[in-house]
Amino acid sequence: MINAPKGTKDILPQESFKWQFIEKTAREVATAFNIKEIRTPTFEHTEVFLRGVGEGTDIVNKEMYTFNDKGDRSITLKPEGTAGVARAFVENGLFNTSLPVKLFYITPCFRYERPQAGRMREFHQFGVELLGATNPSIDAEAIIVAKTFFDKLNVKGLKLFINSIGCKNCRSKYHQALKEYLTENKEKLCPLCKERFDKNPMRILDCKNEDCKEITKNAPSILDYICEDCSTHFNQVQNLLKVAGVEYTVDAGIVRGLDYYTKTVFEFVSTNIGAQGTVCGGGRYDSLVADLGGNDVSGIGFALGIERLLLLMENTGVEIPNENITDIYIASMGEEGSVKAFELANELRIKGVKVDIDHLNRGIKAQFKYADKIKAKFVAVVGENEIANGIIKVKNMQDGSETAVELQNFINFIVNVK
Ligand code: ATP
Ligand code: MG
């Protein structure tokens, strides 16, 4: 037997309906905000992520699935969605269309990580990217898209944390202050944070290592260092969140793992799914598009992990409706009956009814058992007698009641009753 690769998972029928519901909800919520779908390739030139995600990030340093293809090009399976969307934005000249360009995607992502609950090597993201607007209202809108999505799914127990990590100008002053604070404990930092110390000290605040957490506990806050412009922007984002009745906590410890973020960053975090508690992360990226060779276009977006979302919904007992339930199972007896069942099923399906029939010459009892198993809402029985008499019995499997329906009215009856 050949197993699926470590860190990947088959999504079987008993679970795929949940994915369909989540994806449908994502599309509905996106549409409510005039956000249109974009589909970018599963792999990109490695350069896209080197420039887009940034060298020195966990993703680029150790998590990418990178290989040379037969033409000796360096290719990488997308570890996240934003860089590819920004590449597509530049390449397709979306800058010259009406701004802002509001995009969403639902995509598999690939990261070489140590698999554990909520951490896979292939996982899936629902993400939103809003490009070409600098107003704080679009930051607030991005946050509210995610919040609306969670609310619509009835997800409980997610806490929203927001922060501003400033722009290039204010951040350099902060880096200096942070490094001064960290200097005396530099040797006690984890090896990765020792590297971060020079490259991007703010990322040390995001480290999950207990020693590093202890060291950074009383670190200076970025919020004391952001410039007036960044500070005003952040206040306006908060005002709009209040206007929308969105509860949030300002947490200067939220810095996000990627290089491209500026100003607003945010996370939706759960305490119900163990160590991997961040279900959704996002922020503003004012230099990403330019870093990928485009115009000076700012953007804001988020990505949320669908596996973690499902884990949270499972752990907190949120029901996900199965919208694929078969409306009617047409059981049949004898050759004539099975041909009639086949014909009726065909007609019903064309009219949008979900129908199943027997394909294994099962006895009538076994067919009922099967209908029960697939949770069919109705079962009809078609045999020689039914055809001769022109009457079909339809059983309502929910309440057990039976209705005798004239064969000529059968299609209409089912279409109306299902
Ligand atoms: P983490 O802190 O857990 O490593 P991250 O900061 O690397 O997350 P992002 O790059 O912000 O994550 O991705 C957005 C979301 O995608 C995460 O909040 C999470 O829900 C999901 N995600 C990220 N990596 C994985 C993974 N390996 N397996 C499953 N979901 C993931
Ligand atoms: Mg990660």
Question: Rounded to an integer, what distance in angstroms lies between the CA atom of residue 179 and that of residue 196?
Answer: 10
Which residue, judged by its Cα, is nearest atom 12 of ligand 1?
281
Ligand 1 pocket (Cβ < 6 Å) reads 80, 111, 113, 118-120, 123, 125, 257, 276, 278-281, 303-305, 307-308
Q: Residue 216: inside a domain, yes or no? A: no
Q: pTM value?
A: 0.94
Please tell me the predicted confidence (pLDDT) of residue 57. Answer: 82
Please tell me the predicted confidence (pLDDT) of residue 316. Answer: 94
261 & 395 share domain: no
Ligand 1 centroid–CA 107 distance in Å is 13
| Residue of 53, 208, 278, 284 to mutate, ligand 1, most atoms within 8 A of C-beta | 278
396 & 310 share domain: no
304 & 380 share domain: no
Q: Residue 184: inside a domain, yes or no? A: no
Angle formed by the axes of helices 13-32 and 306-315, nearest 10°: 110
3-state secondary structure of 103: strand
Please tell me the predicted confidence (pLDDT) of residue 122. Answer: 98
Please tell me the predicted confidence (pLDDT) of residue 364. Answer: 97
Q: Residue 340: inside a domain, yes or no? A: yes
Please tell me the predicted confidence (pLDDT) of residue 276. Answer: 83
Choosing from 284, 315, 346, the residue where a domain stops is: 315
Choosing from 251, 286, 315, the residue where a domain stops is: 315
269 & 339 share domain: no
Q: Residue 62: inside a domain, yes or no? A: yes
Which residue, judged by its Cα, is nearest atom 3 of ligand 1?
276
pLDDT in tens, the chain (418 residues): 999 999 999 999 999 999 999 999 999 999 999 999 999 999 999 999 999 998 878 899 899 999 999 999 999 999 999 999 999 999 999 999 999 999 999 999 999 999 999 999 999 999 999 999 999 999 999 999 999 999 999 999 999 999 999 998 888 889 999 999 999 999 999 998 998 898 888 889 988 889 999 999 999 999 999 999 999 999 999 999 999 999 999 999 998 867 678 999 999 999 888 888 999 999 999 889 999 999 999 999 999 999 999 999 999 999 999 999 999 999 999 999 999 999 999 999 999 999 999 999 999 999 999 999 999 999 999 999 999 999 999 999 999 999 999 999 999 999 999 8
Please tell me the predicted confidence (pLDDT) of residue 258. Answer: 72
> What atom of ligand 1 comes closest to residue 303's alpha carbon?
14
> What atom of ligand 1 comes closest to residue 302's alpha carbon?
14
Q: Residue 190: inside a domain, yes or no? A: no
Ligand 1 centroid–CA 52 distance in Å is 17
CATH number at residue 409: 3.40.50.800
133 & 268 share domain: yes
Please tell me the predicted confidence (pLDDT) of residue 31. Answer: 98
Domain of residue 341: give its range: 328-417
Please tell me the predicted confidence (pLDDT) of residue 48. Answer: 96
Total structural domains within the chain: 2
| Residue of 111, 205, 276 to mutate, ligand 1, most atoms within 8 A of C-beta | 276
Q: Residue 194: inside a domain, yes or no? A: no
42 & 147 share domain: yes
Please tell me the predicted confidence (pLDDT) of residue 195. Answer: 87
Q: Residue 199: inside a domain, yes or no? A: no
Read out DSSP for 146-190?
HHHHHHHTT--SEEEEEEE---HHHHHHHHHHHHHHHHTTGGGS-
What is the distance of C-alpha 101 from the center of its chain?
Answer: 20
3-state secondary structure of 261: coil
Which residue, judged by its Cα, is nearest atom 22 of ligand 1?
305
72 & 121 share domain: yes
Choosing from 264, 289, 315, the residue where a domain stops is: 315
73 & 161 share domain: yes
Q: Residue 179: inside a domain, yes or no? A: no
Please tell me the predicted confidence (pLDDT) of residue 38. Answer: 98
CATH number at residue 297: 3.30.930.10
Ligand 2 centroid–CA 112 distance in Å is 10
Tell me the residue type at 59: I
Bridge partners, 102 (sequence order): 130
Please tell me the predicted confidence (pLDDT) of residue 169. Answer: 87
Nearest to 80 by CA among 203, 257, 202, 201: 257
Ligand 1 centroid–CA 305 distance in Å is 6
Which helix or strand (DSSP H or E) is residue 415 part of? helix 410-417
Which residue, judged by its Cα, is nearest atom 11 of ligand 1?
281
105 & 250 share domain: yes
39 & 99 share domain: yes
Residue 119: nearest ligand to its CA? Answer: 1
341 & 409 share domain: yes
Question: Rounded to an integer, what distance in angstroms lies between the CA atom of residue 28 and that of residue 413?
Answer: 31
238 & 336 share domain: no
| Residue of 163, 268, 308 to mutate, ligand 1, most atoms within 8 A of C-beta | 308
Which residue, judged by its Cα, is nearest atom 24 of ligand 1?
119
List b or e across 274-310, with b for residues whose CB sees 16 or more CB atoms inside 10 angstroms: eebbbbbbbbbbbbbbebbebeebbbbbbbbbbbbbb
